[in-house]
Amino acid sequence: MVAAGWVDGGEAGLLGAAALLGYLIGALGGHAVALRLGVPRTLDLGMALIVVALTACAWNGGFWWLMGWRTLAGVAGGFLMALAGPATQASVPAARRGTAGGVVIGGVGVGIALGAAAVPLLLTLGVPATWLGLAALAALLWAFAHPRWPEMALAPRGAPAEALPPGRHLVVLTHGLHGAGMVPPMVYLADLAARGRGLGVEFGAAVWLLFGIGGVLGSVLSGRAVDRIGGLPALLLWLAAQALALALALPTPPWLMGPAAIVSGFAAVGVTAVMLSVTRAIAPAPAAASRLWVRCTAAFAVVQTVVGFALAGVFAWTGESHAAVFGTGLAFSLAALGCAALLARRGAG
């Protein structure tokens, strides 16, 4: 979109931050919507909003038009993330919850990989056709997922809440810092490859494809790791991978962009899958685990929204310095790793 002249670099960063703001709204409001519609219908609503938002973005109605639809797409993503994981884990035996969580969150990586594989082909037809093609792809994924949506009983508002474990605040803080550290790869990675490293739009799309492939690997392997070694040891491993990914994206030879993209996706999706299992491990009751996961998701969204807008300002103020943006992400990632180490020492979960 930057190369086509629809937006400039600073506006592109703001569009990414707007999607994060929508994600926050969806994550916080998903439970209330699901109380009225049920979990499967709310997941259907999320997919419908994504298809509509992607279709609307095919028209270059200006920055504020795109801002509104990107925000709505974020709302839809918040619905999906807040509800799909806990509902799936509530419907499988305890011994398979790690793998189930990895598979559910792995859908994020699959979507990224499919979209990134389609974008280079669609771009030959222009930006509007690219958005419409992504909308069609989302519709196909919706058709596949619809008959497979999990169900979960939700506690109505005003019902007595089950107590959350003592380590909940540190769990939420860790997930929030993880989210802050992942803003640069999620918003600026393709631009770093295309313009920052001068590799072109096609390579930028290829980097996003590698990010999605890494996400699939990270989510699937994280589920197996959780089932074998436990949630907290797996969390330490995946957050260490996140710090490595951010370090690889700092001023380095261009050939390191591929490994940086794979490890970024591995961490971005994998940490979320691991954290889903950690919340279930330290809060075994389904209702308490769901509440803790919503708090983690909300913290992730709040931090990503604030950091997303802040980094958009930093990016513009520094003359579009990718090093400043990714260096900030590395600092947040190291802080998340430190919190996870403290959580492991306390033995929560």
Confirm whether 230 is domain-assigned. yes
- Tens of pLDDT, residue by residue over 155-166, are 665 444 455 666
- With contact defined as beta carbons under 8 Å apart, do 93 and 284 qualify? no
Residue 143, number of CB atoms within 10 A of its CB: 10
Confirm whether 9 is domain-assigned. no
Transcribe 318-333 into DSSP letters: TTS-HHHHHHHHHHHH
Nearest to 185 by CA among 300, 330, 48, 35: 330
Confirm whether 315 is domain-assigned. yes
- With contact defined as beta carbons under 8 Å apart, do 25 and 78 qualify? yes
Q: What total of structural domains would you count in the chain?
A: 1
Residues spanned by the domain of 268: 94-149+166-346
DSSP letter at 165 equals: P
Mean of pLDDT over the chain? 82
Confirm whether 157 is domain-assigned. no
Global pTM reads 0.72
CATH number at residue 246: 1.20.1250.20
CA dihedral 20, 24, 25, 29 (to 10 degrees): 150
- Tens of pLDDT, residue by residue over 92-135, are 655 555 555 555 555 655 666 666 667 777 878 888 999 999 89
Give the residues of the chain that fall short of pLDDT 70: 85, 89-117, 152-166, 284-287, 347-349
